[in-house]
Structure 1
């Protein structure tokens, strides 16, 4: 019998919970459910007797084709296409925003503009994306939307697990043209599934990717909500992750929760959200082994313009990386009609905007692969090679974040009782790691000047 996704991926803690395996399983014996850490994983509702191995073939963390190989098949023969190792294939890149959707969106509103445009022009029949559910135990899920207002209501970044099993099954059952938004690993899974399933290949006509540094579990949202002052987390009906404040830069957005009585709690990125995010609290283990920053197999990728000349604008600005000629035409027409305020920007600036994520998913990945193999852990094959060739301070930081990633999940379970999180005990438990990180960064500020002085002295010595 062929290996399957349960014994190869789930048992090795490499599942990202995308749900593609359950959605495409011909026997429908896989079901996606929460694990104790608030992460989605598949389980068998009955024993698999076919041994087809299809579930493993569509898994984005299996050792099938990588993003470069998939991208070459899809975009490699397009006239005028370019390729860079950082971005994958691309036709053009833009910076700007949607005049209509900028204020109501997490960033510049360009993704919402494109999705509503696809519906309005009759190019697609359905849009698939994360939608609020007003359910404390399942705040968001992938839904199939067929009208512009529903798409508008669903706009905004979602840092919450969602899975695609039900919508993938629905696509196979209901004919039509679909566009779907997703993170890099989700889009990759769809591309792998489309190679195996004719209906998915014909019906998913556009894929819209989002730049991603990491995913988060359901417990991440509970933690941020508790940090914002929510005492009973079972009463939360709605959350918004990227609120904009006119007096603050776009990078200092706020998280807002609304309970069943309409009471709202708010907390800004700089008030503790960044601490949990940047130190990889509540991040699935699979995220440690992702090397795709720019959703390389999506027809178009949207991201925040994290560049000095744009990030201070509280209204938000998008960068757009286009791979599909059809999407490129829509954007060009949108500019001419004044629907969007976009200008061309060099791909080098696009890469610069995501420098931190690239370092995380390329340089840090190589060391994480080295550590995993040193411990005899099963990891997927990646385009980056395992290597320990990284500075000693950076090694310590990566090791600390791996420990925090694991500790945050376990400590949350110990501090969470009756829908209430003991926030003080949790933070007290995590702060020794935070203090160690701060010490490393402080040390780094002294080490760099010393290295520069030594380098200059060496050069000067050679001149003499």
Structure 2
């Protein structure tokens, strides 16, 4: 019998919770549910007797084909196609914003414009994307949308786990042309699934990718809500993750939580959100083994323009990497009709905008792979090789953040009683780790310190 996703992925803490395995399982023996840490994982509803191994073959963290190999099949023979190790395949790159949706969107509104354009032009019948729900235990879920107003209502970033099992099943049941949005690992899972399933291959005709540095669990949102002043997460009805303020740069956006009484709790990135994000609190373990920054298997990838010339604009600006000739035509059409304000930008600038994520997913990944090997852990094959040599300070930073990643999950459970979060105790237990990372940053500014002193502090 072939190995399955439970034995190879879930039991080795490598599951990202995309739900593709459950969505494509011919026996429907898998069900997606969240674990105690607020992360989605599959479980068996009954013993699988087929032994087909399909669930493992579509898993983005199994040792199936990598993004370069799959990308070559999809995009390698397209005229004018380019390739870089950082971005994967690409035809062209753009910077700009939607004239209609910029103000109401998390960034430049280009993703919302593109999705509504696909429906308006009749290119697709359905859009599959994360959509808000007024349910404290499931604030977002993947939904199939068929009208522009629904797509507009679903616009905005969602730093919240979602899974695709139900929509993948529905795509197989309901004929039509679909466009699907997703993070890099989700798009990879879909590409693997379309190789195995004819209906998915014929019906999913456009894939839209988003740049991703890491995913977050449901407990991340509960913690930030408590930090904002609402520590009874059972009463949260909705959350908006990327609010813009005219008096602040676009990088200092705010999260807003609304409870059942329509009370609103707001907290800015600089008021504690960044601490949890940058230090990888509430991040699934699978994110430690991702090397895809630019959603290399998506027909178009959208991202924030984190560049000095754009990041101070509170309205927000998008960067785009286009891999499909059809998408390229849609972008050019939007420019000609003045629906979007966009122009070409060098791919080097696009890469520069995500330099921090590239550092995390390439250079630091190599050392995380080495550490995992030293511990005898099962790890997926990646396009970077394990490496011991990364620099003394960076080694310590990686270990510290890995420790915070794990500790944040358990400490949160320890300080979450009767649906309430004890933020003060949680932060007091995390503060020793935060202080150490602060000391490391200071050390990084004083490279002339004697190596002996640095080694002593890093112990």
Aligned to 1:456: none
Match in the other structure for 2:226: 226
Q: Distance in 2 between matches of 1:133 and 1:245?
A: 25
| Structure 1 segment 317-396 matched on structure 2, within 5 A | 317-396=317-396
Q: CA deviation at 1:450?
A: 8.1
Residues 87-114 of structure 1 show CA distances to partners (whole Å, capped at 9, x for unaligned) of 0000000000000000111100000000
Residues of 2 paired with 1:450 and 1:277: CA distance? 32
Aligned pair 1:442/2:422, yes or no? no
Give SS of 1:399's match: helix
CA distance in 2, matches of 1:231, 1:155: 26
TM-score with structure 2 setting the length: 0.98
Q: RMSD value over aligned CA atoms?
A: 0.8
Q: Distance in 2 between matches of 1:69 and 1:140?
A: 32
Give the aligned length. 451
Displacement after TM superposition at 1:272 (Å): 0.1
The alignment partner of 1:155 has SS state of: coil
Matched, 1:189 2:181: no
Cα distance in structure 2, aligned partners of 1:121 and 1:109: 18
Q: Deviations over 1:33-74 (max 9, x none)?
A: 010100000000000111000000000000000000000000
Q: CA deviation at 1:231?
A: 2.8
Residues 222-248 of structure 1 deviation map (CA, whole Å, 9 limit, x = unaligned): 000000000311110000000000000
> Which whole-Å CA distance do the structure 1 matches of 2:9 and 2:231 have between them?
36
SS in 1 for 2:239: strand
Aligned counterparts of 1:224 and 1:20: Cα–Cα separation in 2: 29
**Which residue of structure 2 aligns with residue 115 of structure 1?**
115
Looking at structure 1, the residues matched to 389 and 118 of structure 2 have their Cα atoms a distance apart, in angstroms, of 46
Deviation at 1:444, TM superposition (A): 1.1
Counterpart-to-counterpart distance in 2, 1:229 and 1:395: 35
Taking the aligned partners of 2:146 and 2:50, their CA distance within structure 1 comes to 36
The equivalent residue for 2:309 is 309
How far off its partner does 1:153 sit? 0.4
Q: Name the SS for the 2:445 alignment partner.
A: helix
Task: Report what 2:204 is aligned to.
Answer: 204
Is 2:162 the counterpart of 1:162? yes
2:99 corresponds to which residue? 99
Q: Which residue of 2 aligns with 1:67?
A: 67
| TM-superposed deviation, 1:16 | 0.1
Which residue of structure 2 aligns with residue 460 of structure 1? none
Q: CA deviation at 1:449?
A: 8.4
1:251 counterpart residue number:
251
State how far apart, in whole Å, the 2-side matches of 1:51 and 1:29 are. Answer: 11
Which SS does the other structure have where 1:95 is aligned? strand
The equivalent residue for 1:25 is 25
Cα distance between partner residues in 2 of 1:127 and 1:259: 28
- Paired with 1:237 and 1:366, the residues of 2 have a C-alpha distance of 40
Distance 2:168 2:214 in 1: 23
Cross-structure match for 2:418: 418
Aligned-partner Cα distance in 1 for 2:450–2:147: 60
Helix, strand or coil at the partner of 2:358: helix
* Separation in 1, partners of 2:256, 2:316: 18
Question: Following the alignment from structure 2 to structure 1, what is the Cα–Cα distance between the partners of residues 327 and 339?
Answer: 15
Give the match's secondary structure for 1:83: strand
Question: Could you tell me which residue of structure 2 aligns to residue 455 of structure 1?
Answer: none
- Cα distance in structure 2, aligned partners of 1:196 and 1:153: 33
State the secondary structure of the residue aligned to 1:159.
Answer: coil
CA contact (8 A) 2:81 2:91 kept: yes
Task: Verify the 8 A CA contact 2:231 2:422 in the aligned structure 1.
Answer: no
Give the secondary structure class of the aligned counterpart of 1:364.
Answer: helix
Contact 2:159–2:216 (Cα < 8 Å) also in 1: yes
